[in-house]
Amino acid sequence: MVAVAILAAGRGTRMKSDLPKVLHSLGGRSLVERILHSVAAIAPARQIAIVGYRGDLVKNALQSFTSLEFVEQTQQLGTGHAIQQLLPHLEGFGGDLLVLNGDVPLLRPETLKLLLDTHQQCGNSATLLTAQLPHPKGYGRVFCDGQNIVKEIVEDRDCTAAQKQNRRINAGVYCFRWSDLAQVLPQLQPNNDQEEYYLTDVVKFLNPVMAVDVEDEREILGINDRKQLATAYQILQTRVKDNWMAAGVTLIDPDSITIDDTVKLHPDVIVEPQTHLRGATVIGAGSRIGPGSLIENSQIGENVKVLYSVVTDSVVQEGTKIGPYTHLRDRVQVGAKCRVGNFVELKNATLGDRTNAAHLSYLGDATLGNQVNIGAGTITANYDGVKKHRTKIGDRTKTGSNSVLVAPLTLGEDVTVAAGSVVTEDVPDDSLAIARARQVVKKGWRLKTT
Ligand code: UD1
Ligand code: CA
């Protein structure tokens, strides 16, 4: 049986932030959320987050993890002190405890499994993840005998010049036989530069403690400052983009593209430069997104083109062309084979199939049928200063250029609205609506110049 404890009580002083470090966002998810996602794969019997600095904020942010338990560490006296807080909660627990630093967000589930398997197969008292780093500065150094049996862990700031030469570092990910750990936790002493109770000191009292090197050291990066947060983002981006390219997605100039790891792409999607795909976005096969586009929490069908546009919380069906310079927001649904073009904003609007709004329009709170043609400059006046109102436009209806549709308003099917109209009354099917002053031509009229 495995229980997991996540150390999330520290402030993260080096972040220079009011926000607890573990709540800082990395590619759309907080550091601690990322850890919880990796942990889910090993299906632990219990999951406990140790919270302290602005603990209520951390608890709130993790509400969706319903099986997560919280344990308070009211004063942050060190990582060992944090784990000491578990003693009353895990009394009599007979399994292994996996401990994860809340600031090591890039761990892959495979690595956690490897650590657990090694721990259990070798019958270790403790097993910890280590890495050999070219630049080990800032990490605790792990001293082993030839058989990867750990003798001591010394924090960077407590190392002698000679000890600093050791490049094997503690990743902050440990597996303990809980009954052994529970025995030795009370023996920790704050005999170090920070005068803290270090979890790493327990290795002196346990036997055997084994070190397991991680295959790819990029995944154990600990986030202590903003620079490391940026480095972690780069690592995550490389991982995500390499995956999608291997899965048949073309990325043109990958360095200029960002893709959250919550996004799903189908084969033969082409992502052009300066494009950013975020949140729960899905892009269908054969679609071409970008250059210069931002798609957030949206579903894009197959063979769609999106050019220099921003799409949020919306759905676009197959074969539709969006852009250049289109803004879809707030639950827009665009049907198949539509064209939504140059300088068009759609807000909370639904468009049927083969409907076009190609130039300079605002359609807000509107429902359009199939094969509607919205003339250049058509605007739905959806707001009367107090309330928003809907505009409904039937199949095959055409609005002339520069028409204003004053909501609430219903245009039937096969309606034509004359250019320049301000339409304030509903129009039945098969009708022409002209709502503008008639043109006056005064023959033989000339400007008097004297
Ligand atoms: C720690 C390890 C170090 C390791 C490194 C890996 C110790 C003593 N040192 O150092 O060997 O190389 O991680 O990234 O463990 N926390 C609490 N309560 C506390 C103190 C910290 O919950 O009282 C939490 C923090 O919120 C953080 C984690 O523990 O998520 C690690 O703390 P941090 O201060 O970042 O430790 P490091 O100095 O990085
Ligand atoms: Ca750290």
Q: Which amino acid is at 78?
A: G
Phi, psi torsion values for 199, nearest 5 degrees: -60, -35
Q: Which amino acid is at 272?
A: E
Residue at 449 is within a domain:
no
| C-alpha 15 – ligand 2 centre gap (Å) | 11
Of ligand 1's listed atoms, the one at least distance from the Cα of 169 is 12
Q: How many CA atoms lie within 13 A of 135 on its CB side?
A: 2
Please state, for a pLDDT cut of 90, what percent of the chain lies above it: 99
| C-alpha 115 – ligand 2 centre gap (Å) | 20
Report yes or no: 48 and 32 within 8 Å, Cβ to Cβ. Answer: no
Q: Mean pLDDT throughout 102-130?
A: 97
Residue at 152 is within a domain:
yes
Question: Do 161 and 85 have their domain in common?
Answer: yes
Q: Out of 37, 89, 266, 359, pick the active-site residue.
A: 359
At residue 146 the predicted structure's pLDDT band, cuts being 50, 70 and 90, is confident
Question: Do 262 and 203 have their domain in common?
Answer: no
Task: List, as one string, the DSSP characters of 296-344.
Answer: ES-EE-TT-EE-S-EEES-EE-TT-EE-SSEEEESS-EE-TT-EEEEEE
Question: Do 214 and 263 have their domain in common?
Answer: no
Question: Do 251 and 216 have their domain in common?
Answer: no
Question: Do 333 and 208 have their domain in common?
Answer: no
- Tens of pLDDT, residues 206-251: 999 999 999 999 999 999 999 999 999 999 999 999 999 999 999 9
Q: Is 283 in the pocket of ligand 1 (CB under 6 A)?
A: no
Give the contacts of 373 (CB within 8 A, at least 6 positions apart). 355, 356, 397, 398, 399
Residue at 371 is within a domain:
yes
Residue at 324 is within a domain:
yes
Q: Mean pLDDT throughout 386-406?
A: 98
Rounded distance between C-alpha atoms, residue 408 and residue 53, angstroms? 51
Question: Do 183 and 251 have their domain in common?
Answer: no
Question: Do 215 and 257 have their domain in common?
Answer: no
At residue 309 the predicted structure's pLDDT band, cuts being 50, 70 and 90, is very high
Question: Do 206 and 278 have their domain in common?
Answer: no
Q: Is residue 195 left, alpha or beta, with left meaning phi > 0 and alpha meaning psi from -120 to 50?
A: left
Per-residue pLDDT, 450: 78
Rounded distance between C-alpha atoms, residue 36 and residue 47, angstroms? 9
Of ligand 1's listed atoms, the one at least distance from the Cα of 170 is 12
Residue to mutate (ligand 1; options 15, 83, 101; most atoms within 8 A of CB) = 101
Question: Do 55 and 191 have their domain in common?
Answer: yes
pLDDT at 194 over 90: yes
Assign residue 284 the CATH number of its domain: 2.160.10.10
Phi, psi torsion values for 168, nearest 5 degrees: -85, 120
Q: Is residue 262 left, alpha or beta, with left meaning phi > 0 and alpha meaning psi from -120 to 50?
A: alpha
Q: Is 219 in the pocket of ligand 1 (CB under 6 A)?
A: no
Per-residue pLDDT, 52: 97
Rounded distance between C-alpha atoms, residue 235 and residue 239, angstroms? 6
Question: Do 291 and 350 have their domain in common?
Answer: yes
At residue 79 the predicted structure's pLDDT band, cuts being 50, 70 and 90, is very high
Q: Is 82 in the pocket of ligand 1 (CB under 6 A)?
A: yes
Rounded distance between C-alpha atoms, residue 245 and residue 260, angstroms? 14
- Tens of pLDDT, residues 349-382: 999 999 999 999 999 999 999 999 999 999 999 9
Q: Is 77 in the pocket of ligand 1 (CB under 6 A)?
A: yes
Give the contacts of 435 (CB within 8 A, at least 6 positions apart). 417, 418, 421, 422, 423, 424
Q: Is 23 in the pocket of ligand 1 (CB under 6 A)?
A: no
How confident is the prediction for the chain on average, in pLDDT?
A: 97
Q: Is 9 in the pocket of ligand 1 (CB under 6 A)?
A: yes
Assign residue 67 the CATH number of its domain: 3.90.550.10
Residue at 227 is within a domain:
no
- In this structure, the strands spanning 398-399 and 373-374 are parallel
Please state, for a pLDDT cut of 70, what percent of the chain lies above it: 100
Report yes or no: 110 and 96 within 8 Å, Cβ to Cβ. Answer: no
Is 359 marked active-site? yes
Q: Which amino acid is at 300?
A: I
Q: Is 200 in the pocket of ligand 1 (CB under 6 A)?
A: yes
Per-residue pLDDT, 362: 98
| C-alpha 332 – ligand 1 centre gap (Å) | 45
Question: Do 182 and 325 have their domain in common?
Answer: no
Of ligand 1's listed atoms, the one at least distance from the Cα of 201 is 8
- Tens of pLDDT, residues 313-349: 999 999 999 999 999 999 999 999 999 999 999 999 9
Report yes or no: 353 and 338 within 8 Å, Cβ to Cβ. Answer: yes
| C-alpha 261 – ligand 2 centre gap (Å) | 23
Residue at 236 is within a domain:
no
Residue at 303 is within a domain:
yes
Question: Do 318 and 171 have their domain in common?
Answer: no
Total count of domains within the chain = 2
Of ligand 1's listed atoms, the one at least distance from the Cα of 172 is 6
pLDDT at 117 over 90: yes
CA 2 to chain centre: 28
Parent domain of 323 = 246-433
194 DSSP 8-state letter: T
Q: Which amino acid is at 394?
A: G
- Tens of pLDDT, residues 280-306: 999 999 999 999 999 999 999 999 999
Residue at 230 is within a domain:
no
Question: Hey, whose CA ends up nearest to atom 8 of ligand 1?
Answer: 198
Q: Is 142 in the pocket of ligand 1 (CB under 6 A)?
A: no
- Counts for the chain of helices (H) and strands (E), in that order: 7, 39
Question: Hey, whose CA ends up nearest to atom 3 of ligand 1?
Answer: 140
| C-alpha 101 – ligand 1 centre gap (Å) | 6
- Tens of pLDDT, residues 14-71: 999 999 999 999 999 999 999 999 999 999 999 999 999 999 999 999 999 999 999 9
